[in-house]
Amino acid sequence: MDNFSQATSKLAQSQSLYPRLSFITFGDVEDSRNRISRKAVRSHAALYQHAASRESKGLNESTAKKKQIRRYKKQDVVLDIEILTTIPSEETSGFPEESPRNSLKGTSLQVILGQGRCDPFRTYPIDWNPRIPQLVDHYLTNMAIDMPELDEPGNAGLLRTRWFPLTMTSAPIFHVIILLAASHHSALYSPTKEPSSSLSRTTSRDLIHLKSIAIASINRAMQADSLSTSDPLIGAVAKMASYEAMYGDVATFEVHMKGLIQMVRLRGGLGSLGLSGLLAKICVWIDCNAAFVHGMDHTYFEPEGGRSWLGREVGINPSGFLAAY
């Protein structure tokens, strides 16, 4: 657009904003001072002032909008979906340090969050690690399955709905759950196969490290009198016993069972355990199935007066014990 066209456009815009000029005619100078003439002059001056004010306001708004647009263009909007931010905690995750970028490589956000089966808010009782959601997902999907020996009539899935929430309240028991899930996953998926996730890189050294972290966490909790006979700690020791029965040795299993017996006695017996009787069933079920699998001639929780446990027979399910629990 040339200069003449720009000037014409501005003039037309100015004429649309400002009032048109008009002439006041009178025959005598005194007529210019009468009420009608003064009113016409004041009216034109007021209209002109309003037009100037509207023009100034329009320019200011236009300038402000342009500045705002420029400011928005300069800003980078960052959506933070980084899952590897370390959350301070008294308990470490037990996994070796790894590069955040590499740990996310080839892993979708859906897999990381466990397809709705894991906690996206990271309210785990131990330090954050990118493998935790996958291990929790593996545990809930493949290990905490329906167990007729543990479930109630018409109320299946208690390992998921009643037991697992307990594991989310305490670091020792959660460490043991992570150890069990990692060991179970490692047994199912060989590292020599095509890696399906970062869990496929779990080595025997990782498992030993996870075990040491779990035992150290239990020992620390044992030193606190208020926690020494709590449901989470009793559950942690019971699960460590089941871990040794499945992946360790009988001698270490018996060490854990002896400690578990003492803790239950200090608590007041199996009937005093929580989870509406589920924790007691878990302790007895581990004891009976481990004795059956290893051909032991005794169990640690002896029936009282020859009666069945908790008013019902304890089902022996070695395939479920070894493969899922």
* Residue 187: per-residue pLDDT: 85
Cα-Cα-Cα-Cα dihedral sign, residues 53, 56, 62, 65: negative
The H helix count followed by the E strand count for the chain is 13, 0
64 alpha carbon, distance to own chain's centre: 42
pTM of the model: 0.64
* Residue 318: per-residue pLDDT: 75
Q: Tell me how long the chain is.
A: 325
pLDDT beneath 70, residues of the chain: 1-33, 36-37, 41, 44-45, 47-48, 50-52, 54-118, 190-202, 225, 303-315, 322-325
